[in-house]
Amino acid sequence: MGFVAVAVVFWLYADIEITTLNPWEEITKMAMGAVTPNFFETDYLFSAIINTIAFAMLGVSVGNLIGFFLALVFHIRFVRAACAFVRAIHELFWALIFIQIFGLSALTGILALAIPYSGIFAKVYSEILEEADTISLNAIPKGTSHLSVFMYARLPDAWAHFKTYSLYRLECGLRSSAVLGFVGLPTIGFHLETAFAEGKYSEASALLIIFFIIIATIRKWSRTQLVPIYILASLIVIPWNLSDISLVNIIRFFSNDILPHPIRVAQSIDVNVLVDLGIWTKTLFLDQALPGIIATIILTQIALVGSGFLTLIMFPLISPKFFSTFGRWIGHVILVITRSTPEYILALICLLLWGPSMLPAIVALSLHNGAIIGHLIGRFTENMSLRPDRSKGINLYTYDILPRIYRQFLAFLFYRWEVIMRETAILGILGIATLGFYIDSAFADLRYDKAMVLIILTAAMNLGIDVLSRAIRSRLRLQTRINVV
């Protein structure tokens, strides 16, 4: 109840004003576009689809490989800290950084996915290895090398979990790959942004339908034995654009551009330079960092509670305890569409309807995360046994089901807390005054020094939320399944 009370207080101070003059007119246009998709309007549609899959396949594969080896040394404090830092920065922020270094090349998109995903894979794989069944170790003869023990005793038990999580992360990679198009990379997101900006909702509808089909059929086409072929094909078809990469730009970015302005323009470090640096830091904090942090926290907490409420509404849609097979099929379609649509795209749609405020971000984050957790909780109820004299209708929900799934619900909700904050920050790129708004503005003004400081602050906030979330889950003894994030 404390989180709900905080969200209510924050709601009173949040900017949730609807500024569009006639949102119903735009809703009508979007609805017409949704039922009249145009699959032949978008130029280079096939290449956009291929690029979206290729970026996801290569980014996730590289992240998977690096994360696997990092998981083996994850017990080292420095490795844990480094992995926590890189995964705390959203893929879109990594893309904005690499665009300044490598331009709009394939390397930018691959690294934007691979770097944060390597930190995520390392953390999850290390947890899988820690919780793997160790009974097979008893059969290992003394004196066996560590490599043999790992390959023949520990890895086989964990391999199935690795494959399951890799498939889930590929689905996440497809969503992230699509969003990379909003910063200029040639994926579906690039064409979606153009379609929405020009009011071509039939074209946007067609793009989203294709994207949903790719996500919905991922288990059909992502066979383990086909992965090497997909990786090779991705390497061939992806637009590398290596001519955009300049060694001079790379050196200048790290040696000059990201240095704070007072240090960058000074001939030598003296008292005056330190005073100027203090003024620069104070101005950045008061004018941009502090307002961005406050807005990010307000939006995160409201979206967290909103996600919780929508989860409790959505999970019965796919639960056999409430609906028949046909009803659950409709529920699955609703949840697949909602959870497969990246928050960034959902927020963009809501932004067109209601104008720039926190309301589009709140609705987008709540819908997306509510659908994800609702899917997990709905699946959790499938193996739940009920008494012969069970209640029906609302009483079944209130008195039989809800008390039994509540701890699992809280576990997943707190697990998504840090993810919600990461997404809250990047929605600032759409004009919502979170930290992402000031980061995007700094990049647009070529103030890379300010952008890097704000990105580090964003990572620090995400790390803080992650630590707090784990502490709450530990105190309440809440457990999440290891193969679900």
CATH number of the domain at 117, please. 1.10.3720.10
Domain end, chosen from 208, 227, 256, is at 256
Instruction: Report how far residue 59's alpha carbon sits from residue 297's, in angstroms, rounded to the nearest whole number.
Output: 30
HSE, side-chain direction, 13 A CA sphere, residue 398 = 4
HSE, side-chain direction, 13 A CA sphere, residue 127 = 15
- Residue range(s) defining the domain that contains residue 173: 37-256
**Radius of gyration for the chain, computed over Cα atoms and rounded to the nearest angstrom:** 24
- pLDDT reported for residue 485: 40
Domain end, chosen from 256, 283, 316, is at 256
Mind listing the pLDDT tens digit of every residue in the chain (485 residues)?
778 888 888 888 888 888 777 777 878 888 888 888 888 776 677 888 899 999 999 999 999 999 989 988 888 889 988 998 999 899 999 999 998 888 888 899 999 999 999 999 998 888 887 765 555 555 565 655 555 555 555 666 777 778 888 888 898 899 999 989 888 888 998 888 888 888 888 888 888 888 888 888 888 888 888 888 989 999 998 888 777 677 888 888 888 888 888 888 776 777 888 888 899 999 999 999 999 999 999 999 999 999 999 999 999 998 888 888 888 899 988 998 898 888 888 888 888 888 888 899 999 999 999 999 998 888 888 877 777 666 777 888 888 888 888 888 888 888 888 889 888 988 888 888 889 999 989 988 889 899 999 999 999 998 888 888 888 877 777 665 534 44
Same domain, 145 and 193: yes
Instruction: Report how far residue 112's alpha carbon sits from residue 345's, in angstroms, rounded to the nearest whole number.
Output: 18
Same domain, 235 and 287: no
Same domain, 249 and 330: no
Instruction: Report how far residue 425's alpha carbon sits from residue 435's, in angstroms, rounded to the nearest whole number.
Output: 5
Same domain, 293 and 420: yes
Q: Is 198 helix (H, G, I), strand (E, B) or coil?
A: coil
| Helices and strands per DSSP (H, E), number in the chain | 23, 0
Instruction: Report how far residue 181's alpha carbon sits from residue 191's, in angstroms, rounded to the nearest whole number.
Output: 8
Same domain, 451 and 360: yes
- pLDDT reported for residue 102: 86
Same domain, 27 and 79: no
Same domain, 281 and 386: yes
Instruction: Report how far residue 148's alpha carbon sits from residue 47's, in angstroms, rounded to the nearest whole number.
Output: 44
Same domain, 378 and 432: yes
Instruction: Report how far residue 68's alpha carbon sits from residue 114's, in angstroms, rounded to the nearest whole number.
Output: 12
Same domain, 270 and 412: yes
The residue assigned the tokens 């020094």 is: 449
Same domain, 344 and 273: yes
Take residue 446 and report the two structure tokens written for it: 């070529």
